[in-house]
Amino acid sequence: MTFVITRMNFTHFFFSFKIMPVKEKKTVSIFAKAVSKCSLQATTYAKCVTFQLDSIHQNTCHKEFLDFKLCVQKCIGKSW
């Protein structure tokens, strides 16, 4: 599945984020920073899912997902 960013998609995202309440903006920002710090684990998980896309089922890439989740939780800290 490919996501193509069009002007309409970007505009919708920008304006919907802009009117988001402050608390949610802060949460999204914290989560985004944590995910960006875990790019290696995110890439490993994405590759695992991609390679098994034809026969994917629950818990297919469980280990990779847990590694990614743990990294994000460590980056976020107690606010998770």
DSSP-assigned states of every residue in 1-27: ------HHHHHHHHHHHHTS-HHHHHH
Mean pLDDT calculated for residue range 24-32: 81
Domain that includes residue 43, residue range: 21-79
Contact 39, 68 (CB under 8 A): no
pLDDT tens column, 33-66:
888 999 999 999 999 999 988 888 888 899 999 9
Q: What is the pLDDT of residue 38?
A: 93
9 within domain boundaries: no
User: 38: exposed, middle or buried (C-beta count within 10 Å: 0-12, 13-18, 19+)?
Assistant: buried
Mean pLDDT calculated for residue range 12-34: 70
40 within domain boundaries: yes
Q: Kind and range of the H or E element at 78?
A: none
Count of domains for the chain: 1
Whole-number Å distance between alpha carbons of 5 and 12: 11
41 within domain boundaries: yes
Single pTM value for the model: 0.64
The CA angle 53-55-56, to the nearest 5 degrees, is: 65
